[in-house]
Structure 1
Amino acid sequence: MECTGMNHYDHASRGAPRGHRRTIRSALLGAVALATVAGGAMLPAFAQAPQTMAAPQATMPSFADVVERVKPAVVSVRAKGGEKKMAQASSDRQGSPDFNLPDDHPFQEFFKRFRGGPGDESNRSPRPGQPGPRQGVSQGSGFFISADGYLVTNNHVIDKSSEVEVLMDDGRTLDAKVVGTDPKTDLALLKVEEGGPFKYVELAPEAPRVGDWVVAVGNPFGLGGTVTAGIVSARARDIGAGPYDDFLQIDAPVNRGNSGGPTFNQLGQVVGVNTAIFSPSGGNVGIAFAIPSETVRSVTTQLREKGTVERGFLGVQIQSVTKDIASSLGLQGGEGAIVSRLEEDGPAAKAGIKTGDVILAVNGKAVEDARDLSRRVASLNAGSTATLQVWRDGKRQDIAVTISRMDGTSTAAADPKQDAAVGKLGLSLAPTGDNKKGVAIVGVEPGSPGAEKGLKSGDVIAEVAGKPVQSPADVKAAIEASRKDGKKSVLFLVEANGNSRFVAVQVPTA
C-alpha cells in the first residue's frame, strides 16, 4: 500500500521540512486505512488484498553451466627466464596502462598487488636470509586439449623461457615442458607429465558466426579463473601480426594476462585463443583478437606429431587485386592475387607462372586476396600438386604446380608492400607483362603526390630518371638513386592512350 500511495504522499510532502515529511506520510497512510475500514466502497482499490507481482522473466543468457564445465581445463601459465616480465593480451606490443590515479586512490592498493607496484612485496629488498625477487617471469593463460596433459598457449607467453609452470584451477602448481612453438601464428604447445588425467576442452569444428555469444576465461592481471562474455564482432581480421592473420574479433573483455586463454561458444567448445587487443590505454576497450580454432587445430596437430610446423611454398611474391588492378587487366571484380615477383627456380617459376599473372583459384577454390592465397598455399603438403587457375592475356588457364616445403626464412605468397607502393608517392604498380616495356600504374591514392601530378590508373611508366623500367623494383631503385644523389625531384616518362609525357615528381623523404 505504501507503494500504491507513493505518488500521492510524495507530492503532498513536497516543500515540507524533512522533519515533518514522515509525519505527513504517516497521516496520509492513516487516512487511507481509516477510509478502508469506514467505507470500503469509497476506495475499492485499497479495499482489495494487495496483488503479488510476477517476477520478471530472465532475458539475458546465463553462461554458468558452460563455465562450470570448462573452467577446470583453463590454467594460468608462468614462464621463467624469458625476456619479458609479464605477458599481455596485446601481444606485448602495448605498454603498461597509465591510469593516472592519485596516490591516495583506493584502487592504488589493487594495482600494487596485481601489477607489481611500489607496495608489492616482490619489489621490496629481501630480508636477510630470504631469496631475492623473481625476475623475468611472464604470465599468461592456457587450456588443456587432452586428458594426458597437452595444453595450448601463446608463443609470446613462453618465448625464450627456461622453465614453465601452470597453476591449475584447483590450486595445484605443475611443471610443463614446451613441445613446440609456431611464432608465425603465435601458438605454443605444452605438456604436463604428472598430475593427470586432466579435464580438457574440445576445439570447435566450425567457426562462429558474427553476433554469436562467446565466453573468455583466463588470467588477466594475475587474477586466475576470470570469466568474461561478449559476442563475435568480426571475422578474418588482418592486424599485421603475421603472414597468416585470420583473427576473430570479439568484444568480451580481455586484458593483459589473458594471452593464450580460450574463448568458448555456448556449447563449451573453444572457438579461439585470445592473443591480442587493440587499446590506446593498454586496457580493455572492447576490441580483442583470437586465433580461430581451425588454425589452432592444424598447428597443434603438427606440433604434437612433429614438434614443428611445415608449410607449403610456392615461391612468389604477390599483392591483392584491387578494383583498379582488375579493371586494368580486364577482370571482373577485385578477387585474386597478382604475382609481382617470382623466386628463381621456385615451384611457381618451374611450373610456368609468370610475373603479372593473377592467381584466381587453388584446386578449384576461389582466392579472395593475397592473405587468402598465403593461407591456402601454407596449408598444402610439400610434394603435393596444386592446380592454380590464373588470368593471363585476358583469359583463364590452369597450371599444375608441385608445392615445395617452406624453409625457416622464406615466406609463402607474402604480400610485400614495398613492391606495391613506391615510397610515399601513393602509387601501386604492377608489371605490364612479358615482352612489354614499362610498369603499369594500377592504383593512385587520392591526395597523394602522384595524384597531384595527374598520374592515374592505367598509365605506364616507361622511364624513371632517364632509365627504362620493367618492374616495380626498378622504379623504386631509380627513386632511391635520385634520393642518394640529393635530387629533389625525379623525372617520369609516362605513356597513356598512345601519348608520352614527362612528369616531375618530388622525391619523397626517407
Structure 2
Amino acid sequence: MPLAVACCHAAVGGDTPSDAVGFDRAASDRVALDRGVPDFTRLVKAHGAAVVNIGVAREAIVPRQPGERQQDRIEDGTLGSGFIVGADGYILTNAHVVARAADISVKLSDRREYKARLLGLDTLSDVALLKIDAGGLPVVRIGDPARIEVGEWVLAIGAPYGFSNSVTAGIVSAKGRSLPGADYMPFLQTDVPINPGNSGGPLFNMRGEVIGINSRIYSNSGGYQGLSFAIPIDVAMRIKQQLQARGVVTRGRIGVSVQEVSQALAQSFGLARPAGALVSHVVPYGAAARAGLRAGDVILKVDRQDVFQSVDALTYISGRSPGQRVAVQAWRNRDLIELDVSVDAFETSASQAARVARPSASLGFTVRPLVPQEQAMLKVEGGLLVERVNQAALRSGVKAGDVILSFNGENVGTVEALVEQIRQARDATGPAALLIQRAQVRVFVPLELNQTDDAGRASPPVP
C-alpha cells in the first residue's frame, strides 16, 4: 500500500500554553459522554477561530501543441490548512502545502483574508512558518504529545477538499510511528478522518491543546482510509523557533544508518527484549566512527533517554546542536559500552537552505540543493531550487520554484559550484545560458551577469 502525502490538491499558539481565548479547562476535563461519544463543542468554539485556510498559487508552464516551442502559463491553485501560533500573525502549516508557492493567501474563520509571507520551510520535518500582517489574533494552546495516551480522543479542524472549518474526530492509534522517507519523525498515528486540504491543520487533545500537525495519510486512493499521521507539536515548535530566528533549521547527526531490532535479532545479540536502534552502517570519518561506534552495535540510550525503536535515536540526536557532546549507551558482544560522541551538522539541502549564491553583483535569486525526495519526484540528478527572486531575476525569466540544472552547459549540483561558474563567466561578454526545469518542462533562460535595477544600481541580493 503506497504512502500518500495529503498534499492539499483540492479544487493553523503561542510557544507556551495560553488561556487567552477563554477556554474552560475544568469543563473540558469533565468530558461528558453522550451516547458514548465525547462532547467536542466547547473545544471547537474555543479554538476553531485559530485555525486558518491557506490558498497557494503556483505558476506552471505547459506546451500549447506537441512540437511547438511556445508555452502557455497557467496557475495551479491548491488549498491547505494552518493554525495561528502568535497573536501577531505567525502561522504554522506543512512545508508541502506552501512549497514552490508564487502567492500565499490566508483566510481566517471570520472571513478576513491576508497575503502571507513565507518565513521559512523545512522539508525534512514538513513544517513551514508563515507571517501575516495582523494583530490581536486568536492563538492555539500548545500541548505535550508525550502525555497523550494511545486510545485517547483527538480532534482535527481543517479544510478537506476546500470545505473550511471542518471538524473530524477519532482516537490516537499509535505513537512514535516511523514512515518511509521520514526517518527522523516520530509520527502520531490516528484514525481521525484526514483528506487533502487538512494538511497543515492542528490535531487537538480533549484539553483543547494542539499536540500535532496533520501531515500525511496512508492510502490507495489518495483519500482517507483510516490511517492518518501527525507531526508531534513539540518537534514542530522547535522547528518554528529556528525558522523564526534564522529562516533555516540546524540539526545534529552522528553518521549512522539504523534499523529496528526484531525478536529474532534481539535473541541473536543476547538482548533481554527487542528494543533499541541496530546500527547497520557507520559513515567513515563521521562522528560515530570517530567515537568508536560500529555496525552491529545496538544503541540503547542517548543522553540517558531510552531508545525503544530506531526513530528514537535519530530524533534525540537530530535535536542536538552541532558540536554538542552526547552520551551513547550501546550493546556490543553481549555487554554494555559507553561512548562519548561529538555531534556533526546534519548536512542536507534543507539545512543548506541559507547557503545562498551571492556573487559580487547579485543575480537576484537565492538557491538551495534539492533533497533526494525532490530529485526523485522531478526525475533529475543534482539541481538547485530557486527559493526567492527579486525584480531583476524576474525580468530575466527566473521564478521561485524553478530548478537550475546547468549553467553555460555545465551541470549544477551545489551552491558553491554555481558561484564559481558565475565568477568565471563574468570575464566573458554577453549573457549566460541557464537551463531550468519548470513544471516538468525544461527551458533555457538568458541571464545577464551584471544586471542593474531601474535606477541603474546593481541589484541587491534577496534577503
Q: 1:64 aligns with which of 18, 36, 41?
A: 41
Distance 1:166 1:281 in 2: 28
Letter of the 2:333 counterpart: D
Q: How does 1:202-281 map to 2 (within 5 A)?
A: 202-207=141-146, 208-281=148-221
Q: Does 1:201 align with 2:140?
A: yes
Q: If the length of structure 2 is used for normalisation, what is the TM-score?
A: 0.62
* 2:255–2:283 Cα contact (<8 Å) kept: yes
Unaligned runs of 5+ in 1: 1-55, 85-131, 412-510
Distance 1:312 1:83 in 2: 36
Q: 2:344 aligns with which of 404, 415, 428?
A: 404
Structure number with the higher strand fraction is 2
Identity rate, percent: 37
- Residue 135 of structure 1 is matched in structure 2 by 75
- Residue 57 of structure 2 is matched in structure 1 by 80
- Residue 160 of structure 1 is matched in structure 2 by 100
Cα-to-partner distance string for 1:209-242 (whole Å, 9 max, x where unaligned): 1222222111111111111222222222223141
Deviation (angstroms), 1:306: 2.0
Deviation (angstroms), 1:409: 5.4
* 1:83–1:160 Cα contact (<8 Å) kept: no
Cα-to-partner distance string for 1:66-93 (whole Å, 9 max, x where unaligned): 1111111111101112669xxxxxxxxx
- Residue 45 of structure 1 is matched in structure 2 by none
Secondary structure in 1 aligned to 2:39?
A: coil
Secondary structure in 2 aligned to 1:243?
A: strand
Letter of the 1:289 counterpart: F
Q: 2:247 aligns with which of 294, 302, 307?
A: 307
Letter of the 1:355 counterpart: A
Distance 2:55 2:350 in 1: 32
- Residue 312 of structure 2 is matched in structure 1 by 372
- Largest Rg, 1 or 2: 1
Q: Give the root-mean-square deviation of aligned CA atoms.
A: 2.4
Cα-to-partner distance string for 1:45-101 (whole Å, 9 max, x where unaligned): xxxxxxxxxxx97653221111111111111101112669xxxxxxxxxxxxxxxxx
Secondary structure in 2 aligned to 1:136?
A: strand
* 1:167–1:174 Cα contact (<8 Å) kept: yes
Distance 2:212 2:130 in 1: 17
* 1:145–1:151 Cα contact (<8 Å) kept: yes
Distance 1:399 1:368 in 2: 18
Deviation (angstroms), 1:407: 0.9
Secondary structure in 2 aligned to 1:349?
A: helix
Number of matched pairs: 308
Secondary structure in 2 aligned to 1:138?
A: strand
Distance 1:135 1:176 in 2: 18
Q: Does 1:391 align with 2:313?
A: no
Secondary structure in 1 aligned to 2:37?
A: coil
CA, structure 1 residues 236+57, in 2 after alignment: closer, same or farther (shift >3 Å)? closer
Unaligned runs of 5+ in 2: 1-32, 62-71, 352-463
Distance 1:133 1:353 in 2: 53
Q: How does 1:327-342 map to 2 (within 5 A)?
A: 327-342=267-282
Letter of the 2:142 counterpart: L
CA, structure 1 residues 79+287, in 2 after alignment: closer, same or farther (shift >3 Å)? same
Deviation (angstroms), 1:190: 0.6
Structure number with the higher helix fraction is 1
Distance 2:236 2:321 in 1: 17
Secondary structure in 1 aligned to 2:80?
A: strand
Cα-to-partner distance string for 1:85-118 (whole Å, 9 max, x where unaligned): xxxxxxxxxxxxxxxxxxxxxxxxxxxxxxxxxx
Cα-to-partner distance string for 1:448-495 (whole Å, 9 max, x where unaligned): xxxxxxxxxxxxxxxxxxxxxxxxxxxxxxxxxxxxxxxxxxxxxxxx
